[in-house]
Amino acid sequence: MIRSWDEIDGDLKLSCDVVIVGSGAGGAPAAALLAEAGWKVIVLEEGGYHPTESFTPNAEGANRRLYRDAGAGILLGDPPIRLLSGRTLGGSTALGYGTAVRPRPGKLAEWRERYGLTELTDAHLEPFFGQAEKDLGVSRADRRRISPADRLIQTGAKKAGWTVEPLQRAAVGCRGCGVCAMGCPTGAQQLTLVSYLPRALKAGAEIYCDAQVRKIKFRKGKAVGVSGAVLKRYARKTVRRFEVSAPWVIVSAGALGSPSLLQRSLGSESRPAPATLGANLRIHPTATLLALFDKPILGWEGIPQGLALAPTGRTDLWAAGGSLHPAQAALIAPGFGHDHKAVMARFASMAQFTVMVEDRSEGEVRALNEFDVEGRYRLGHEDADALKYGLKSLAEAFFEAGAVETIPGAIGAVTGIAKDRANALESIVRLSSGSLLLSGLHPMGTCAMGASAETSAVDVHGKVWGREAVYASDASIFPSALGVPPMLTVTALALRLANHLINQSEGGRP
């Protein structure tokens, strides 16, 4: 049963075995597993329910329906960074390209050694990653359908010293429309909307959309449910109120929403909230390069992310293609008015590629009110230099592949032409950090797992330190930047949490 705001005709008082706040990669897998184990599950999603057939490649519609703050969220800092996250049934899984990769080798070892997460070994997590990959139909991107940008850059990337790997994707029967980030219109991409949530529903879970959880309720330090408001779609108008009683609460509202909800809920408690809640924000700062060719390549066709590239010897950079709607590319294309139009007129000859850094820089988030989260992020020199290096290397690779011009995403960036390649590449290195037009694609780390309440917000299972029966399950629990798109890791950890709860309870029942 899925109910939206206009189908709820009175205030709600509900009870269940577990209430899950959020329906993305951290919430939906747990909902499916727990419901299938016989638990009564309620999923509360702040965003609306938008079925597959409603997805169209229209920037206006997609922004409004799927993105928090209509895709205009900003992290304050120098440079300010555009932050993208989902606010729809399916969460941020609805926004990505379906890339489903495991953490790079060495990442789990780092988490064990630096953060005391000794349980997180490859062997321990293997069954959960395996299960997630099976559930989501993860397979190598169909090479016949990879995008023109991917095909073009791989020839240049190898010459420029990058390693090129085919990407694993959570997509079944993908036709390569290239419009994934506006919601997959064919149902191929395994958003939770078409994967775990139908399973949860089939097993009896109830899903409420447009339902904003405002507080987790505690009794003597133990979570006993949540309360909140049903909002009119696309508005901040409360139309109904709800209370859900449950002996278990899972918070999967993302790296902005989860710490904010916990801050609001724990702030009124006599026991102190974990000191690190909301700190340690990582985002994988991402820069974009546009490469122009002398003939149309129809860059929007095909699977936008079919290959992953990394400069040889560097593990902190990860580059992959993208398929931007013209309105998004227009934000990066230089100039205004006529100058801008001259660049955009060559859109069909344009390849778009992104490079992201496994960030060492940090930020923090803070709840302003029920709706708004203030985020700040301080891009450090090391990460800024890495991004500039990445942009320069991408430009080099595209020139090798025959690009006639490259445009780094930066305010006041100089367009580099192939004839003056050396200067073009050098100009990228000279960009000031503050001029980079960056996006934060993967907010994480704000309810970090760790070995103690002094250094982290949650334990190795995601349980909030100092409280009982309340767990975080999303990218917010990563203790450091993952370095690759986090969807598969979040899913695997959510499956692990569900198993943990089932194992903790008598006979697998709550």
Interface ranges with other proteins (CB under 8 A): 57-60, 69-74, 76-80, 140, 143, 145-146, 148, 151-152, 154-155, 164-166, 168, 175-179, 185-186, 234-236, 296-298, 300-302, 307, 325-328, 330-331, 333, 336-338, 340-341, 344-345, 347-348, 368-369, 371-372, 374, 411, 434, 437
User: CB of residue 432 vs other proteins: minimum separation in angstroms?
Assistant: 13
User: CB of residue 139 vs other proteins: minimum separation in angstroms?
Assistant: 11
With beta carbons less than 8 A apart as the criterion, state whether 21 and 223 touch.
no
Which residue, 303 or 394, has its beta carbon nearer to other proteins? 303
User: CB of residue 443 vs other proteins: minimum separation in angstroms?
Assistant: 15
Residue 155, classified by CB atoms within 10 Å of its CB into exposed (0-12), middle (13-18) or buried (19+), is: middle
Which residue, 3 or 145, has its beta carbon nearer to other proteins? 145
User: CB of residue 32 vs other proteins: minimum separation in angstroms?
Assistant: 27
Task: Report the alpha-carbon distance of residue 57 to residue 301 in Å, rounded.
Answer: 12
User: CB of residue 348 vs other proteins: minimum separation in angstroms?
Assistant: 4
Reply yes or no on whether 442 is catalytic: yes
Question: DSSP state, 146?
Answer: B
List the structure tokens of 107.
Answer: 């990442």
Task: Report the alpha-carbon distance of residue 497 to residue 22 in Å, rounded.
Answer: 15
Provide the 3-class DSSP secondary structure of residue 385: helix
Give, in order, the Cα–Cα distances in Å from 304 to each of 97, 330, 354, 482: 7, 18, 11, 21
Give, in order, the Cα–Cα distances in Å from 130 to each of 102, 203, 491: 10, 22, 11
Residue partners of 244: CB distance under 8 A and separation at least 6: 12, 14, 15, 16, 19, 42, 44, 225, 226, 227
Strands 238-245 and 41-44: unpaired
Strands 350-357 and 362-367: unpaired
Transcribe 310-328 into DSSP letters: EETT-SSEEEEE----HHH
Among 97, 211, 179, 93, which residue's Cα sits nearest to residue 475? 93
Which residue, 73 or 416, has its beta carbon nearer to other proteins? 73
Which residue, 105 or 507, has its beta carbon nearer to other proteins? 105
From the list 284, 340, 381, 442, the catalytic residue is: 442
Residue type, 298: L
User: CB of residue 419 vs other proteins: minimum separation in angstroms?
Assistant: 22
User: CB of residue 307 vs other proteins: minimum separation in angstroms?
Assistant: 8
Which residue, 302 or 450, has its beta carbon nearer to other proteins? 302
Which residue, 450 or 483, has its beta carbon nearer to other proteins? 483
Which residue, 90 or 299, has its beta carbon nearer to other proteins? 299
Which residues participate in catalysis according to the annotation?
Answer: 442
